[in-house]
Structure 1
Amino acid sequence: MAELRADTAPYYEDVACGPAGGHAVWLSAPDGIRIRVGVWPEGSRGTVFLFPGRTEYVEKYSDAAQHLADAGYAALAIDWRGQGLTERPAHDRKIGHVKDFRDFQRDVDAMLAHARSLGLPRPWHLLAHSMGGLIGLRSLMERQVFARAAFSAPMWGLPLPPHLRAVAWTVSSLGSAIGLGERDTPRSGKVADPAAAPFDGNLLTTDPDMFAWMQRQVVRHPDLALGGPSLGWLWAALREMHGLARQAAPDTPCLTLLGSDEGIVDPDAIQVRLASWPGARLRMVEGARHEALMEGTDLRGALYRDIIAHFEG
């Protein structure tokens, strides 16, 4: 493993709402990719590793860090390779790209090593959203570092009808094979300019204040914004979802939140996965969309109380 080195990285406090002492660092992943990690180190009851979804970044998880800090937990969040301020494709920064989802595990390695170097309190827990839920599932299968895990709308499948699923496999695999892997996926459904997306009809949250907060982040700091995924990302995601679905569930105690109005990931794939996961618990969140933890204040608080109760066993 390459030597891990921490240097100060930008942390946009003007659009963050996390606890005092929050900051960000640059870390070198084992393959040399420079990634950004946010750290909120204050806490004595344990540490929560926040695995964001596609397009997301450290500042968006400052709200989660505040809820966790209020309960006595330290927290870290990461900008995955290909998004946030972490290294992106040189020809077009707005395209989210990765060649292989296993590469994200190198980012996890760097994150874990930094937490060890800081001596962050144990037990360590995982809170993962959407794409981060897919990355987190492999992390649980391959590591014994997290005492408990919580997921929010994990991307364990995409809601594609059979004919579109076949098209997705074919187009993404062929495109990657002929050198077009860094090209954007046609009709990916993600607007090129997230700051211009209207609240009406959005698939993320029913709460206009949280939606506006997320948009302010990319308006004030456009370098955080990300558009649609690449063909290579789609090919890698399809392979990872298919491969992990065939493996036995980990034995880590698990709580999963899923909004009743989910429209981005596949609820059926989540329920199938949890059915074979001993001791796993699914909480359906009535009226919530993809970002259940970005809904209104009262619901958000109740969900974090459930997560904390789960972490404490």
Structure 2
Amino acid sequence: MDCITLVAEDGADLDVLVWEPAGAPRGIVQIVPGMCEYAARYDGFAGALVEHGWFVIAAEHRGQGPRAAAEGRLGQLPDRGYHQLLDDMSTAYDHVRGELPGVPWVLVGHSMGSFLARTMAARRGREMAALVLLGTGGSLGPVGGAGAAVADVETVLLGEDHPSALMNRLAFGPFNAAFMPARTEFDWLSRDTRAVDDYVADPLCGYVCSTGFYRELLRVMRVANSVEVMRAIPPRLPVGIFSGAADPVGGAGRGVRQVARRMRANGVRSVDLVLYPGARHEILHEVNRRQVESEIIAWIDSAVQSAVQGARATDAGAGAS
């Protein structure tokens, strides 16, 4: 694992982690981390992908990771909010694409990253070979609207960079309810107690974010679940959705099934859904993480192979005509 620093669209430094395979890469897998964590937490999954020949990258989100901690900006977002995070994702991919032109691009987003990944697929899905969503969720409906109103008011009254204990309680407080009595505030993340304890002890995880961060989180969740975004995802783009059946972010499977149904209803032809019984939010840090990694990578390999073969058949047909 190496870290390169790129110049972002707004001139800021953008840290991108890179994992390179030994031989010629079969394609690029771009990982989009979740909220209140950082890219290096995907080292195990990235290593497994590299063993299968994939070139892996993960851009550090603004307000997350070592640079944000060193600058005192943990939990804060830039002025353009989630739009800037999308631009950072594009900056990271475009840089690598320049070095590896013509290879397939797979986008993998976890939790908040899954909402960003869906939105990116609406923007640039025609360039992708596959989209993978981990720990995603459906529409929050009126609850999301109420939360957004609270975040907006707090942003006006307290400022965008003010840590919001209230939004933190509203957003994550209920998540442990299904796992009582709970050892920690983060039992909802995984059944693996060591993984949970590592998260709790990590100063780069689990902090209280700013009012502006929560506002942008709710905005990108709403946008990602909108009909407009669903319809803008290319119909031929294969989508793999993997989630814990006990994940509260996915409504214990209900919200995840909603996402799959709505994608299919809005034209996405190939949507595969896998729910792991008993698993919670961070399936890459669950007790069955090796099974999860293996099945996600097998899905990626198969989906990309089918997509590449389909593109070749289309090109051959066009040439014959």
TM-score bucket (shorter structure): 0.7 to 0.9
Q: Is 1:109 aligned with 2:109?
A: no
**2:188 alignment partner, one of 190, 200, 203:** 203
Where 1:85 maps in the other structure, the secondary structure is helix
State the partner residue of 1:41: 20
Counterpart mapping for 1:37-116 below 5 A: 37-42=16-21, 44-87=25-68, 92-99=72-79, 100-116=81-97
State the partner residue of 1:250: 233
Per-residue Cα deviation, 1:224-271 (whole angstroms, up to 9, x for no partner): 345122211222222222233131151221000121111134454433
C-alpha contact (below 8 Å) 2:200/2:206 kept by paired residues: no
Where 1:188 maps in the other structure, the secondary structure is helix
State the partner residue of 2:262: 276
State the partner residue of 2:299: 306
Where 2:26 maps in the other structure, the secondary structure is coil
Amino acid at match of 2:261: A
Q: Which whole-Å CA distance do the structure 1 matches of 2:138 and 2:85 have between them?
A: 16
Larger radius of gyration: 2
C-alpha contact (below 8 Å) 2:186/2:200 kept by paired residues: no
RMSD over aligned Cα atoms: 2.9
Q: Which whole-Å CA distance do the structure 2 matches of 1:157 and 1:130 have between them?
A: 13
User: Can you give the 5+ residue segments of structure 2 that lack an aligned partner in the other structure?
Assistant: 174-181, 307-321
State the partner residue of 2:128: 146
Q: Is 1:241 aligned with 2:221?
A: yes
Q: Which whole-Å CA distance do the structure 1 matches of 2:101 and 2:274 have between them?
A: 29
* Shift in Å, 1:153: 1.3
* Shift in Å, 1:293: 1.9
* Shift in Å, 1:98: 4.8
* Shift in Å, 1:32: 1.6
User: Can you give the 5+ residue segments of structure 1 that lack an aligned partner in the other structure?
Assistant: 1-21, 192-196
Amino acid at match of 1:150: V
Where 2:59 maps in the other structure, the secondary structure is strand
Per-residue Cα deviation, 1:31-75 (whole angstroms, up to 9, x for no partner): 122121100122521110011101221211111111101211110
Q: Which whole-Å CA distance do the structure 1 matches of 2:303 and 2:8 have between them?
A: 31
Amino acid at match of 1:38: L
State the partner residue of 2:283: 292
Structure with greater proportional helix content: 2
Q: Which whole-Å CA distance do the structure 1 matches of 2:286 and 2:303 have between them?
A: 20
C-alpha contact (below 8 Å) 1:89/1:97 kept by paired residues: no
Task: Tell me the TM-score normalised to structure 1 length.
Answer: 0.78
Amino acid at match of 1:312: Q
Where 1:290 maps in the other structure, the secondary structure is coil
Q: Percent identity?
A: 22
